[in-house]
Amino acid sequence: MNPRKIIIDTDPGQDDAVAILLALASPEVEVLGITAVAGNVPLALTQKNARTVCELAGRPDIPVFAGCDKPLKRKLVTAEHVHGRTGLDGPTLPDPTVPLQDAHAVEFIIDTLRKEPEGTVTLCTLGPLTNIATAFREAPDIIGRVAEIVSMGGAYFEVGNITPAAEFNIYVDPEAAEIVFKSGVLTTIMPLDVTHKALVTQPRNDAFRALGNATGIATAEMTDFFERFDKAKYGSTGAPLHDPTVTAYVIAPHLFTGRHINVEVETLSDLTLGMTVADWWGVSGRTANATFMGDLDAEGFFALLTERLARLP
Ligand code: RIB
Ligand code: CA
């Protein structure tokens, strides 16, 4: 079967890094490029971190593009309190040697969707949706050409992780999320409801480290670092691997279950800004616009991830 073509839009972030590593280790997907966006840390760091991760994976050939350095209309909110000053705190990784691409990430997204056959490119989004929304605004002709958007973001039963109501990726740029979720593109959302069930328990972290390769050890060190926030806040038994649920879904969708429902974004209320209002019980009468995931086979997810990380340097 031909590999599925994907663009990864990301704000690395340790969990973004693991999502990228999983994709680069998996023959089921072909990463056409990685587009960095401001989110967990400023753009200058997210674009650098994306290149660092590609080199860790032994894939300096993957083109990395810098995108939007702030949300569509709001001040950038970052998450150094979770990911550390660099965004990739934990392991000591060498600075990247592969250069950043000259083109803007939005230009790459538009050009790629126009060039590739219609319905063959999936957008895997791991951060705020600013790049995607900007591309859709600048080139509405590409919207109908997207095969699927698979997006980490939002929450319903789990409520917020950056405010009482909102998940970080949506909160940073709610207007961008509204544009993307109302675009009409086939959309699958990985909210906190499912990512909080993908916890890197100690045995799972030990399994990463036991791989003995640079990728496995770095993954153990990254998740060791960024579990602090969730352990302190939720009493979790380990770091929630938010973003790898996106690339795992593209590779092995059977691991996930959810509902096709209406999902809308709060963009007006200060109290609930960025909240994803997910009509899980189908009471609104609003048209379903996304498959909103609620559960996963966690053992199967970690078995897949660990087996694939073993394939990298
Ligand atoms: O709320 C979790 C999301 O915000 C993840 O994508 C994490 O990397 C941060 O971007
Ligand atoms: Ca992210």
User: How high is the pLDDT of residue 243?
Assistant: 98
User: For residue 193, which phi and psi values (nearest 5 degrees)?
Assistant: -55, -35
Alpha helices by DSSP H, listed for the chain, are: 14-24, 43-56, 80-83, 105-115, 130-138, 168-172, 174-181, 192-195, 202-210, 214-234, 244-251, 298-309
Q: Indicate which ligand has the atom closest to the C-alpha of 245.
A: 1
Q: Tell which atom from ligand 1 comes closest to the C-alpha of 195.
A: 2
Taking a 5 Å cut-off on Cβ, the residues next to ion ligand 2 are 11, 13, 16, 126-127, 243
CA of 244 from ligand 2 middle (Å) equals: 9
Probe residue for ligand 1, chosen from 88, 167, 169, 222 as the CB with the greatest number of ligand atoms within 8 Å: 169
User: How high is the pLDDT of residue 21?
Assistant: 98
Probe residue for ligand 1, chosen from 11, 41, 159, 189 as the CB with the greatest number of ligand atoms within 8 Å: 11
Q: Is 40 exposed, middle or buried (0-12, 13-18, 19+ CB in 10 A)?
A: buried
Q: Indicate which ligand has the atom closest to the C-alpha of 9.
A: 2
Measured in whole angstroms, the distance separating CA 253 from the mean position of its chain's CA atoms is 16
Quote the tokens at residue 54.
């590609």
Q: Tell which atom from ligand 1 comes closest to the C-alpha of 242.
A: 5
User: How high is the pLDDT of residue 250?
Assistant: 98
User: How high is the pLDDT of residue 14?
Assistant: 98
Quote the tokens at residue 235.
């009493």
Q: Go through the domains of the chain in sequence order and give each one's CATH number.
A: 4-309 (3.90.245.10)
Would you tell me the crossing angle of helices 174-181 and 130-138 to the nearest 10 degrees?
60
End-to-end CA distance of the chain: give it in Å, rounded: 25
Of 196, 242, 254, 260, which is the active-site residue?
A: 242
Confirm or reject: Cβ of 240 under 6 Å from ligand 1.
no
> Residue 311: how many CA atoms within 13 Å on its side-chain side?
12
User: How high is the pLDDT of residue 70?
Assistant: 98
State the Cα–Cα distance between residues 115 and 136, nearest whole angstrom: 16
Q: Are 274 and 165 in contact (CB under 8 A)?
A: yes
> Residue 244: how many CA atoms within 13 Å on its side-chain side?
32
Residues of the chain where predicted confidence (pLDDT) is lower than 70: none
CA of 126 from ligand 1 middle (Å) equals: 7
User: How high is the pLDDT of residue 228?
Assistant: 87
Confirm or reject: Cβ of 16 under 6 Å from ligand 1.
yes
Handedness of CA 257, 260, 262, 267 (dihedral sign): positive
Confirm or reject: Cβ of 11 under 6 Å from ligand 1.
yes
Q: ∠ at Cα 84 (82, 87), nearest 5°?
A: 95
Beta strand pairing status for 29-36 and 4-10?
Answer: parallel
Concerning whether 242 is annotated as a catalytic residue, the answer is yes
Closest to 242 (Cα-Cα) out of 161, 123, 310: 161
